[in-house]
Amino acid sequence: MSISALQKDRYKYKPKLPPALQGDLAKIVVELGQATQSVANQNEVKALFPNTYGAPIAKVVSGKNKKADQALTLAVVLSGGQAPGGHNVIAGLYDGLKKGNKKSRLLGALGGPKGLIDGKFTEINDDLMDAYRNTGGFDMIGSGRDKIEKPEDLEKVVAVVKANGINGVVIIGGDDSNTNAAVLAEYFQSLKLDVSVVGCPKTIDGDLKNEHIETSFGFDTACKTYSELIGNIGRDANSAKKYWHFIKLMGRSASHITLECALQTQPNVCLIGEEVAAKKQTLDQIVESVASVVAKRAEQGNNFGIVLVPEGLIEFIPEVGALISQLSDVLAHDHEGPKEFEKQTTLDTQLAWLEKHLASANAQVLKSLPVEIQRQLFLDRDSHGNVQVSLIETEKLLVELVKRKLKTWAIEKKYSGKFSALTHFFGYEGRCAFPSNFDADYCYSLGFNAFVLFNAGLTGYLSSIRKTHKSADKWTCGGVPITMMMNIEQRQGKPKPVIKKALVELDGKPFQTFAAQRDQWAVETAYLFPGAIQYYGPAEVCDQPTKTLKLEQS
């Protein structure tokens, strides 16, 4: 197989490990602290996880480990969307496992959780592992979005782990996947089955973090990849001086990616969904704020600029969020609605039908939207009939509405500039990029640390690496009980235990740093050009974490 020079060289990269994970495994142990409780709904969460709730925080320290060389068989599962560094989590787990005992085995579940349910594995050996070190993607064993939560699936997994002599399962995933890990750990414990479950925090969205999980892996690489592209567009815009670029960025539930990219590139406008929700801004208010920046720059002769938009913005807008919620209810497959709705053959009759079934305020919002956005709202639905928010072209919606606003202002003699806009959506471009040195090191440490937690016999934990805003030689390691991060939320109309998502904190340093400068960025052309991710050179160029992480932890 032919490979690029960079890929060939990256195979040779030796990820940096924190001091606690270096040296003789016989001298690495886990120290347990005080009992914990969930972030909210303590009684409800405890009732659902009676065997694993309240577990203590774990810290990796020096000591005497009599079980360092025990032979183990572990299964590893990639769950959910891709994130740069996943292969290095597996590499760290594999190297720790083999360092403990050469006879230990690592089984890769093929296609994600479904592979664990169906018992479809490939045994990872040196040749297979070496072909994927420090590379992006999840193609080594594949991923999937299946959940292990139905009684019949839990029973199948028990049969699979028994049949394959599996001592532990590591689930590499986001908040939903690691909630699933907690469910699996609790189920094993309820059966008194000696099989451990440990998770590793993955998501480029950056919304899986708390006091003990400082960042999710992949966020660093994805943001740097998007910021390079935004910087390139900024340079082009300032050269051509004729286009407004509206750029949508991944992150449906939280705006962390958009905020980090703004800190890295200094766009003219950056919309943060959490601020929109907190201020209860209407769609018209958002449009007016963007149009005002366009008009101010036009007065200076600058008919160009950059607007960053989070993928989930539209759900943060109160009146649009209410519309989407009711649309999903009306059109959900467990209602009679779709059967009648599908009989409507034209846009006009579809709108007329919906108007009868929507609250008047929601019907008015729907009618005010551009035709293409209307179609996306009620035609592009998932298998349950819910609106697929990620498919709504919010960037195009804003362009159309800003254009309308500017046209009105031009008639009123309030605006005389030229507005030409281009739209972009950066999402998949960053999910499988070559991991940055930070993500390569962080992921390898997460995997190696997960092995140490398994070796200590812990279950229901998330691998935790801390002090990550500093160089790797100052990182510390441990584990945090997954139940500690949980609360109860309504999912599909039912209360469900889930890991609480971390939203952008408006009083936090990252947002406050951005807010202090955005008025200046709005009118000035102050773009930064981060350039491509660097893998070789001084640490201040190659090994730096995101601005978000440094601001949050400093």
| Cα–Cα separations (whole angstroms), residue 155 to 159, 349, 356, 389 | 6, 48, 46, 34
Determine phi and psi for 124, rounding to 5 degrees: -85, 125
Q: Which of 205, 220, 441, 543 is catalytic?
A: 205
Q: Which of 401, 349, 343 is nearest to 372 (CA)?
A: 401
Q: Assess whether 205 carries a catalytic annotation.
A: yes
Q: What gap in Å lies between CA 554 and CA 552, rounded to an integer?
A: 6
CA distances (Å), origin 369, targets 64, 348, 363, 374, 468: 66, 14, 10, 6, 44
Q: Which helix (H) or strand (E) holds 200?
A: strand 196-201
Q: Enter the tokens of residue 290.
A: 């963007």
Give every CB contact of residue 32 below 8 A, 6+ residues apart in sequence: 56, 57, 58, 59
Which among 211, 281, 203 is positioned nearest to 464, based on CA atoms? Answer: 211
* Residue 490, H or E segment: strand 486-491
In whole angstroms, what is the distance from residue 256 CA to residue 273 CA? 10
What are the structure tokens assigned to 485, written together? Answer: 């991060």
Residue 39 sits at the vertex; the CA angle it makes with 201 and 483, to the nearest 5 degrees, is 55
Q: CB-based contacts of 180: which residues, under 8 Å, 6+ apart?
A: 79, 113, 147, 148, 149, 171, 173
Element holding 486 (H helix, E strand) = strand 486-491
* Amino acid type, 493: G
What residues act catalytically? 205
